[in-house]
Amino acid sequence: MTTLDETHDPSLQSWVQSANAADGDFPIQNLPFGVFRRKRGGEAFRIGVAIGDRVLDLAAVAKTRGAIGAAVAAALGDVEASTLNGLMARGPATWSALRLELSRALRSGADAQGDLTACLYEQSDIEHALPARIGDYTDFYASVYHATNIGKLFRPDAPLMPNYKWIPIGYHGRSSTIGVSGERFHRPVGQTLPPGASVPAFGPSKRLDYEFEVGIFIGTGNDGPIPIASADEHVFGLCLLNDWSARDIQAWEYQPLGPFLAKNFASTISPWIVTMDALAPFRTAWTRPADDPQPLPYLDAPTVWSEGAFDVQLEASLSTSKSDAANQPAMPLTRTSFRHSYWTVGQMVAHHTVNGCRLMPGDLFGSGTASGPTATEAGALIELVEGGKKPFTLINGETRTFLEDGDTVVFRAWCEGTGTRAGVRRIGFGECRGTILPAR
Amino acid sequence: MTTLDETHDPSLQSWVQSANAADGDFPIQNLPFGVFRRKRGGEAFRIGVAIGDRVLDLAAVAKTRGAIGAAVAAALGDVEASTLNGLMARGPATWSALRLELSRALRSGADAQGDLTACLYEQSDIEHALPARIGDYTDFYASVYHATNIGKLFRPDAPLMPNYKWIPIGYHGRSSTIGVSGERFHRPVGQTLPPGASVPAFGPSKRLDYEFEVGIFIGTGNDGPIPIASADEHVFGLCLLNDWSARDIQAWEYQPLGPFLAKNFASTISPWIVTMDALAPFRTAWTRPADDPQPLPYLDAPTVWSEGAFDVQLEASLSTSKSDAANQPAMPLTRTSFRHSYWTVGQMVAHHTVNGCRLMPGDLFGSGTASGPTATEAGALIELVEGGKKPFTLINGETRTFLEDGDTVVFRAWCEGTGTRAGVRRIGFGECRGTILPAR
């Protein structure tokens, strides 16, 4: 059972003043991990932690003389590491201990303030690399709403497959083309079958879409099946993931072996990994409709039901060439919560390994498009526009059926201390942003 | 156009006497690359080249004083490398130059014999690691015979999808569970839907199969689409690949996103990568039935037609607990040639990158099950036994519908100097062997 500790105390304040803003993503109760360097100077990438509008350089902290320096050095092992894989491999006791030491050192009045002040940079002055060396990337399909919405378009006669409510459906994706927020990529080119045609066409995708997913970073690997009861302990944390999709390429290529070139040209993740510890206050009950099958025993445990879900608010927005030229902020597309996921993160881990498949530190799962139960909670444009029949109108009056060149899709996410969690400190994920360049 | 040079001269003999045996896999005309260490002593893995029944330790060669030592050191860069990724990244000019130097140094009468004799070990005394750090693994589906045979079983109404003759169908596989020849793995456990059932069962797979594929190692990566005319230059070489498959798990899970747990528990490759240079004499014309569509321009080039295919003889055999106990050799299953592939290696490379997907040195492609045109040329048991209806009888009288615990599947492959290639020296791939342990 997930327990809260002093790091979750909502009254904690940091000596980094910007961390104390009420609506900030990175208060002292969060402390997400990433990999960064300063924008100029050709520095090596290294591990950092977000605090307010700053990043704490853990490689620099490890070289300070006090207790926090020693604690960081011990937890990281290789303090010059340019990925989180080493820390991920050390396991949840190390992750929690490091987070506790960082929380104490960053609190108002901490002795460490003197040493650590010199280890802070403004986030506006840094750039990110991928937080981990991602060996394998697996994309799940865990929203029954997305599976049903998309199924209706691809297979009107059988939108939801008979296996859907039994199996956390997943497939392998491409790790080499995963990029970090801020990336710009060319519209993919490929084969499509135009409506009514019997011979494929070749050219730039005309139905380019985003998919709003939650990214799940594996911490410790396995040798043999991971029991559902301990599955969450193998997860280092969550981020945001845009699984860009070329719907026209996908429709023509995906049978019988699944999506391939429709997905592997680019996937974009947010730079900060929000840890399972930081998310503990936002875990919530997982439910299934009464008529649905119960999970098979290898996917079932009391904690799946009591706290299997994560109530993470997900918000997608769009900037266009036109809105950028007018200096307008990104315009809202949709909003939902990850708590609607039909399958839990732990179930994904248990299922993935039940056959003996080996997970490695730094492996990434995508949740699948995290659509919610109503039409306005769709996690992809294809759902919002009903397969292309009904364009979506943006607040500046522009319309979109699919994405156009120059469009920037921005995902943000946060966990709120409202309702039954009144008083719990809000934490956020930062943003996941990507821009479409014209086809080559 | 592929050209032959002095390294292909069939009259070349090596001062390593075992390399001169007429039917050996590793004559001086081959020189495949792998990663090895001696079985005892906890040595580091390092790069080697097979010659006769020996392996030449390139890390040791690089430390010798003569011209060959300097050439090997220059080509490898990091002579202590435990993978071929660095050499793969250097490109075909480096690969060819290194092969030429090795050929000259290993020829009968070479001055280098004195230095190199101390750098040779018996292959029976070594063990292998994977030859490369495999970032991404992509499995194609390039045999139209396999696609048709398997399609009949999964989808009797539409065995061959409309896209098959237009697209080199592929999907992403799992790199973390790729192992090297000799591995033993547990029969996978998972969900299946028994015939007639509406609720899935859970337990060890009852329909475990092998798939005989050719593995394709990428050498140099890309930034943008790779033109078909230069696609082969990005390939370092070929090996053998067993894409073990749990047919009952696959049938229940594979829709709509493709195979997942049915495949990712284990894939086994042969340890030696036979280079594109070594295979040059065995390239042959690629043909399509007259009624089939012509390839789209991005998949078409004169050399695709003139030399797109590789005439590699593929032979699968099986050992059982019973035949092992009787000390019998592996029993024949099937034999075919990779030249029957509907799509060429170069077409796979061009297609994979046409959307901008990034390939990296050390990436692995599987060709897909390399079934040939007749029933006895099937590359998987499920085809041989017609989906389970007709057991296969082994030469010791045992029968198999699917694989049993204790079974060892052995693939061998070679290229022959017969027919129009009379006089060309035979080269071989060694073997790809894997054994099934009982489910955990």
At A192-221, the pLDDT tens digits run 999 999 999 999 999 999 999 999 999 999
Burial class (CB in 10 A: 0-12, 13-18, 19+), A137: buried
Instruction: Enumerate the β-bridge partners of residue B435.
Output: B184, B408
Measure the CA–CA gap between B255 and A112, rounded to whole angstroms. 55
Nearest by CB to B171, which of A246, A249, A260?
A260
Mean pLDDT, range A362-377, rounded to an integer: 97
Residue A154, pLDDT score:
75
Mean pLDDT, range B426-430, rounded to an integer: 98
Domain boundaries, chain A: 6-128, 137-437
Name A174's Cβ contacts closer than 8 Å, sequence gap at least 6. Answer: A137, A263, A264, A267, B136, B172, B357
Helix (H) or strand (E) segment spanning residue B152: helix B144-154
List the single residue in A with minimal CA-CA distance to B167.
A253
Catalytic-residue membership of A146 = yes
CA B135 from chain center: how many Å? 17
Are the C-beta atoms of A11 and A109 separated by less than 8 Å?
Answer: no
At A316-364, the pLDDT tens digits run 999 999 999 999 999 999 999 999 999 999 999 999 999 999 999 999 9
Measured between CA atoms, how close is B212 to chain A, in angstroms? 18
Chain B residues within 8 A of A351 when measuring between CB atoms: 261
Measure the CA–CA gap between A276 and A234, rounded to whole angstroms. 10
Q: How many residues does chain B have?
A: 440
Biggest CA-to-CA distance, chain A: 72
At B367-405, the pLDDT tens digits run 999 999 999 999 999 999 999 999 999 999 999 999 999
Q: Which of B264, B265, B261 is nearest to B249 (CA)?
A: B261
Which residues 263-292 of A are in CB contact (within 8 Å) with B? 264-266
Measure the CA–CA gap between B117 and B106, rounded to whole angstroms. 10
Chain A residues within 8 A of B296 when measuring between CB atoms: 191, 200, 202
List the single residue in B with minimal CA-CA distance to A246.
B355
Give CA separation, B7 vs A183, A214, B10, B224, B428, in Å.
46, 53, 8, 33, 16
At B89-101, the pLDDT tens digits run 999 999 999 999 9
- Are the Cβ atoms of B176 and A265 closer than 8 angstroms? no
Q: Which pTM value belongs to this model?
A: 0.97
Average pLDDT, chain B: 96
Residue B315, pLDDT score:
98
Which amino acid, B363? D
Are the C-beta atoms of A384 and A378 separated by less than 8 Å?
Answer: yes
Measure the CA–CA gap between B342 and B376, rounded to whole angstroms. 18
Measure the CA–CA gap between A163 and A146, rounded to whole angstroms. 15
Measured between CA atoms, how close is A226 to chain B, in angstroms? 13
**B74 part of contact set with chain A, CB < 8 Å:** no
Name A357's Cβ contacts closer than 8 Å, sequence gap at least 6. Answer: B174, B176, B177, B261, B264, B265
Mean pLDDT, range A135-146, rounded to an integer: 98
Mean pLDDT, range B275-301, rounded to an integer: 96
Measure the CA–CA gap between B50 and B428, rounded to whole angstroms. 11
Residue B420 has pLDDT above 90, yes or no: no
- Are the Cβ atoms of A254 and B256 closer than 8 angstroms? yes
Mean pLDDT, range B335-343, rounded to an integer: 98
Catalytic residues of B: 146
Which residues 235-254 of A are in CB contact (within 8 Å) with B? 246, 249, 252-254
Of the ranges A228-232, A415-419, B429-433, which one carries the lowest mean pLDDT score?
Answer: A415-419
Residue A156 has pLDDT above 90, yes or no: no
Helices and strands (DSSP H and E) totals, chain A: 12, 26
- Assign domain A137-437 to a CATH class: alpha beta
Find out whether the peptide bond into A438 is cis, omega within 30 degrees of 0.
Answer: no
Nearest by CB to A255, which of B163, B185, B259?
B163
End-to-end CA distance of chain B: 51
**A392 part of contact set with chain B, CB < 8 Å:** no
Chain A residues within 8 A of B138 when measuring between CB atoms: 260
Residue B14 has pLDDT above 70, yes or no: yes
Residue A1, pLDDT score:
58
Q: What is the ipTM of this complex?
A: 0.96
SS3 B35: strand
- Are the Cβ atoms of B174 and A136 closer than 8 angstroms? yes
Measured between CA atoms, how close is B172 to chain A, in angstroms? 5
Residue B1 has pLDDT above 60, yes or no: no
Average pLDDT, chain A: 96
Chain A residues within 8 A of B146 when measuring between CB atoms: none
SS3 A302: helix
At A59-93, the pLDDT tens digits run 999 999 999 999 999 999 999 999 999 999 999 99
- Are the Cβ atoms of A360 and B176 closer than 8 angstroms? yes
**B157 part of contact set with chain A, CB < 8 Å:** no
Mean pLDDT, range A146-162, rounded to an integer: 90
SS3 A304: helix
Residue A100 has pLDDT above 70, yes or no: yes
Residue B419, pLDDT score:
84
Same fold, A6-128 and A137-437: no
- Are the Cβ atoms of B355 and A189 closer than 8 angstroms? yes
Measured between CA atoms, how close is B223 to chain A, in angstroms? 11
HEC assignment per residue over A17-79: HHHHCCCCCCCCCCCCEEEEEECCCCCCCEEEEEECCEEEEHHHHCCCCCHHHHHHHHHHCCC
SS3 A349: helix
Nearest by CB to B355, which of A171, A190, A363?
A190
At A232-276, the pLDDT tens digits run 999 999 999 999 999 999 999 999 999 999 999 999 999 999 999
At A275-322, the pLDDT tens digits run 999 999 999 999 999 999 999 999 999 999 999 999 999 999 999 999
Measure the CA–CA gap between B435 and B258, rounded to whole angstroms. 26
- Are the Cβ atoms of B189 and A355 closer than 8 angstroms? yes
Please determine, looking at this structure, whether the domain spanning A6-128 carries the CATH number 3.40.50.720.
Answer: no
Q: Which of A126, A132, A130, A108 is nearest to A56 (CA)?
A: A126
**B331 part of contact set with chain A, CB < 8 Å:** no
Which of A146, A234, A340, A351 is an active site residue?
A146
Taking CB atoms and an 8 Å cut-off, how many pairs form between chains A and B? Answer: 180
**B133 part of contact set with chain A, CB < 8 Å:** no
At B185-196, the pLDDT tens digits run 999 999 999 999
Q: Which of A36, A40, A103 is nearest to A68 (CA)?
A: A103
At A11-56, the pLDDT tens digits run 999 999 999 999 999 999 999 999 999 998 789 999 999 999 999 9
Name A322's Cβ contacts closer than 8 Å, sequence gap at least 6. Answer: A396, A398
Measure the CA–CA gap between B160 and B147, rounded to whole angstroms. 6
Q: Which two tokens stand for residue A103?
A: 């929380």
At B200-237, the pLDDT tens digits run 999 999 999 999 999 999 999 999 999 999 999 999 99
Residue A158, pLDDT score:
83
Q: Which of B241, B368, B391, B266 is nearest to B316 (CA)?
A: B241
- Are the Cβ atoms of A174 and B174 closer than 8 angstroms? no
High-pLDDT (> 70) share of chain A, %: 100
CA A256 from chain center: how many Å? 28
Identify from B164, B218, B260, B436 which residue to disrupt to test chain A contact, counting A C-beta atoms within 10 A and taking the largest count: B260
**B363 part of contact set with chain A, CB < 8 Å:** yes
**B368 part of contact set with chain A, CB < 8 Å:** no
List the single residue in A with minimal CA-CA distance to B264.
A357
Find out whether the peptide bond into B194 is cis, omega within 30 degrees of 0.
Answer: no
